[in-house]
A and B are shown apart, each in its own frame.
Chain A
Amino acid sequence: MSAPVTVEDVTVEDWADGVVAAAILGSGRRAAPELPAALGGPGPAADSGTRLLDAATVLAAVRAVGAPDAPEAPVDAPVPAPADTLAPPPPRARQLLELLHARPAPVPAAERDVLVAHWLACAAARGVRVPHDLLPTLLERARTTPTLRAPLRPVLDERGRWLAALHPGWSAVLADHRAAASPAGTPGARPDPAAWPHLPAPARLALLLDLRASPDPAERATAADLVASTWANDPVNERTQHLEALGSALVETDDALLERALDDRSVKVRGLAQALLDGLPTSRRAQRMAERLAPLLSRSGILGRRLDVATPPDPDDAGVRDGLTPPPRGTSRHDWWLGTLVAGAPLPVLTSASGVDEAATYQRLPDPLRAAVRRAVLLRRDVDWARAVIAVEGRPSGLLSVLPAEERTQHLGSGLARCRGAGDLRDLRDLLAALPVPADPGLAREAVEALHRVPPPRLVLPTETVHHLRDALVDAPPATLDRLTDLVRTDLPETTGRALSTALQLLSLRRSISEALR
Chain B
Amino acid sequence: MTTPEAADVPAERWPLERVRGAAPDAASLVAARKLTAPGAWSDCGVSATLVWGKCQGSGKAPYQVSVDLSGPAYRCSCPSRKFPCKHALALLLRWSAGDLEPGAGAPDEAAAWARQRAERAASRAAAEAGSGAPVDPATLAARAAAAAQRRDERLARMDAGMEDLAVWLTDLARTGIAAARQRDLTWWESAAARLVDAQLPGVAEEVRALGRTVRHRSDWAEHTVDVLGRWWLLVRAWRRRADLDAATAADLRTVVGWAWATDEVRAGETVADVWAVLGAHRSTDGGLLEQRTWLHGERSGHVVQVLDFAARGAPMPVARTVGSRLDATLALYPGHDPRRALLVTEPVAAGELDRLPGGGDLAAARARRTAALAANPFVRRVPAVVRDARVAPGPDADTTGAVTVVDAAGRTVPGVATGADEEEATGAVWSLLARTGGRPADLFGELQDGVLRVLAVGTGDGVVGL
Task: Give the B-binding residues of A (Cβ under 8 A).
Answer: 19-20, 23-29, 47-50, 52-54, 56-61, 63-65, 67, 69-75, 77-81, 132-133, 135-136, 159, 162-163, 166-170
Known: A56-B226, A70-B412, A72-B411. Is A24-B406 also a contact (CB below 8 A)?
A: no
**Contact (Cβ within 8 A) B412 A23:** no
Residues of A near B431 (CB, < 8 A) are: 133, 136
**B364: shortest Cβ distance to chain A, in Å?**
13
Bound together, the chains give a CA A53 to CA B439 distance in angstroms of: 46
**Contact (Cβ within 8 A) A163 B233:** no
- Interface 9-mer from B166-174, B270-278, B312-320, B347-355: B166-174
Residues of A near B176 (CB, < 8 A) are: 23-29
Bound together, the chains give a CA A29 to CA B176 distance in angstroms of: 8
* Shortest 3 CB-CB contacts between residues of A and residues of B: A26-B176, A74-B410, A60-B229
**Contact (Cβ within 8 A) A71 B437:** no
Interface membership of chain B positions 422-466, coded 1 if the CB is closer than 8 angstroms to chain A and 0 otherwise: 000001001101110111000000010011000000000000100
**Contact (Cβ within 8 A) B232 A56:** yes
Residues of B near A20 (CB, < 8 A) are: 221-222, 225
Known: A19-B225, A81-B437. Is A28-B174 also a contact (CB below 8 A)?
A: yes
**A384: shortest Cβ distance to chain B, in Å?**
56
Q: Does B145 contact A (CB under 8 A)?
A: no
Residues of A near B430 (CB, < 8 A) are: 136, 163, 167
**Contact (Cβ within 8 A) A27 B398:** no
Which B residues between 119 and 156 are near A, CB-CB below 8 angstroms?
none
Known: A26-B176, A75-B410, A77-B406. Is A64-B398 also a contact (CB below 8 A)?
A: no
Residues of A near B225 (CB, < 8 A) are: 19-20, 23, 56, 59-60
**Contact (Cβ within 8 A) B228 A56:** yes
**Contact (Cβ within 8 A) A47 B170:** yes
**Contact (Cβ within 8 A) B411 A26:** no
**A50: shortest Cβ distance to chain B, in Å?**
6
- Most chain-B CB neighbours within 10 Å: which of A61, A65, A78, A166? A78
**Contact (Cβ within 8 A) B222 A65:** no
Bound together, the chains give a CA A162 to CA B384 distance in angstroms of: 28
**Contact (Cβ within 8 A) B434 A53:** no
Known: A60-B225, A75-B410. Is A65-B450 also a contact (CB below 8 A)?
A: no
**A23: shortest Cβ distance to chain B, in Å?**
5
**Contact (Cβ within 8 A) B434 A26:** no
Q: Does B392 contact A (CB under 8 A)?
A: yes
B438's partner among A23, A26, A58, A81 (CB-CB below 8 A) is A81
Bound together, the chains give a CA A77 to CA B408 distance in angstroms of: 10
Bound together, the chains give a CA A474 to CA B51 distance in angstroms of: 63
Q: Kindly list 14 other residue pairs between chains A and B, CB separation below 8 angstroms, not including A23-B228, A26-B177, A69-B412.
A: A23-B224, A23-B225, A26-B176, A26-B178, A27-B174, A53-B232, A56-B226, A61-B229, A69-B362, A80-B438, A81-B437, A163-B434, A167-B397, A169-B398
Residues of A near B437 (CB, < 8 A) are: 80-81, 132, 159, 162-163
Q: Does B111 contact A (CB under 8 A)?
A: no
Interface membership of chain B positions 392-427, coded 1 if the CB is closer than 8 angstroms to chain A and 0 otherwise: 110001100000101001111110000000000001
Q: Does B377 contact A (CB under 8 A)?
A: yes
Residues of B near A27 (CB, < 8 A) are: 173-174, 176
B373's partner among A23, A26, A61, A163 (CB-CB below 8 A) is A61
**Contact (Cβ within 8 A) A23 B221:** yes
**Contact (Cβ within 8 A) A64 B377:** yes
- Most chain-B CB neighbours within 10 Å: which of A29, A71, A166? A166
Known: A53-B170, A80-B439. Is A136-B434 also a contact (CB below 8 A)?
A: yes
Known: A60-B229, A60-B233, A133-B435. Is A69-B413 also a contact (CB below 8 A)?
A: yes
Known: A56-B229, A59-B225, A169-B398. Is A26-B173 also a contact (CB below 8 A)?
A: yes
Bound together, the chains give a CA A135 to CA B432 distance in angstroms of: 11
Q: Does B230 contact A (CB under 8 A)?
A: yes
Residues of B near A56 (CB, < 8 A) are: 173, 225-226, 228-229, 232
25 contacts between A and B (CB under 8 A): A19-B225, A23-B176, A23-B177, A23-B224, A26-B178, A28-B174, A29-B176, A49-B171, A56-B229, A60-B225, A60-B228, A61-B233, A64-B373, A69-B447, A69-B451, A70-B413, A73-B410, A75-B410, A75-B412, A78-B390, A78-B406, A132-B437, A133-B431, A136-B433, A163-B433
**Contact (Cβ within 8 A) A135 B178:** no
Q: Does B179 contact A (CB under 8 A)?
A: yes
**A14: shortest Cβ distance to chain B, in Å?**
15
Q: Does B212 contact A (CB under 8 A)?
A: no
Residues of B near A53 (CB, < 8 A) are: 169-170, 173, 228-229, 232
In the complex, what residue of chain A is closest to B457 when comparing beta carbons? A133
Bound together, the chains give a CA A26 to CA B222 distance in angstroms of: 14
Known: A56-B232, A59-B225, A61-B377. Is A70-B411 also a contact (CB below 8 A)?
A: yes
**Contact (Cβ within 8 A) A75 B438:** no
A75's partner among B228, B362, B406 (CB-CB below 8 A) is B406
**Contact (Cβ within 8 A) A52 B173:** yes
**B311: shortest Cβ distance to chain A, in Å?**
23
Residues of A near B414 (CB, < 8 A) are: 69-70
**Contact (Cβ within 8 A) A77 B174:** no
- Most chain-A CB neighbours within 10 Å: which of B174, B392, B434? B434
Bound together, the chains give a CA A221 to CA B250 distance in angstroms of: 80
Task: Give the A-binding residues of B (Cβ under 8 A).
Answer: 169-171, 173-179, 221-222, 224-230, 232-233, 236, 362, 366, 369-370, 373-374, 377, 390-393, 397-398, 404, 406, 409-414, 427, 430-431, 433-435, 437-439, 447, 450-451, 464
In the complex, what residue of chain B is closest to A56 when comparing beta carbons? B229
**B171: shortest Cβ distance to chain A, in Å?**
7
Bound together, the chains give a CA A47 to CA B169 distance in angstroms of: 13
**Contact (Cβ within 8 A) A162 B229:** no
**Contact (Cβ within 8 A) A162 B438:** yes
**B221: shortest Cβ distance to chain A, in Å?**
5
Bound together, the chains give a CA A73 to CA B226 distance in angstroms of: 27
Known: A57-B232, A80-B439, A167-B397. Is A23-B434 also a contact (CB below 8 A)?
A: no
**B391: shortest Cβ distance to chain A, in Å?**
8
Bound together, the chains give a CA A77 to CA B439 distance in angstroms of: 10
**A362: shortest Cβ distance to chain B, in Å?**
60
Bound together, the chains give a CA A155 to CA B30 distance in angstroms of: 61
**Contact (Cβ within 8 A) A24 B178:** yes
**B178: shortest Cβ distance to chain A, in Å?**
5
Residues of A near B224 (CB, < 8 A) are: 23
Bound together, the chains give a CA A132 to CA B461 distance in angstroms of: 11
Bound together, the chains give a CA A64 to CA B222 distance in angstroms of: 12
Bound together, the chains give a CA A23 to CA B225 distance in angstroms of: 7
**Contact (Cβ within 8 A) A54 B397:** no
Bound together, the chains give a CA A20 to CA B224 distance in angstroms of: 9
**Contact (Cβ within 8 A) A50 B411:** no
Residues of A near B464 (CB, < 8 A) are: 133
**A68: shortest Cβ distance to chain B, in Å?**
8
In the complex, what residue of chain B is closest to A135 when comparing beta carbons? B434
**B409: shortest Cβ distance to chain A, in Å?**
7
Bound together, the chains give a CA A77 to CA B437 distance in angstroms of: 12
Residues of A near B177 (CB, < 8 A) are: 23-24, 26
**Contact (Cβ within 8 A) A57 B413:** no
**Contact (Cβ within 8 A) B366 A69:** yes
**Contact (Cβ within 8 A) A65 B370:** yes
In the complex, what residue of chain A is closest to B365 when comparing beta carbons? A69
In the complex, what residue of chain B is closest to A46 when comparing beta carbons? B170
Bound together, the chains give a CA A74 to CA B363 distance in angstroms of: 13
**A329: shortest Cβ distance to chain B, in Å?**
49
Residues of B near A49 (CB, < 8 A) are: 169-171, 173-174
Residues of B near A57 (CB, < 8 A) are: 229-230, 232-233, 236
**Contact (Cβ within 8 A) A77 B392:** yes
Residues of B near A60 (CB, < 8 A) are: 225-230, 233
**A54: shortest Cβ distance to chain B, in Å?**
7
**Contact (Cβ within 8 A) B406 A69:** no
**B322: shortest Cβ distance to chain A, in Å?**
13
Bound together, the chains give a CA A57 to CA B236 distance in angstroms of: 10
**B27: shortest Cβ distance to chain A, in Å?**
33
**Contact (Cβ within 8 A) A23 B173:** yes
- Most chain-B CB neighbours within 10 Å: which of A61, A71, A79? A61
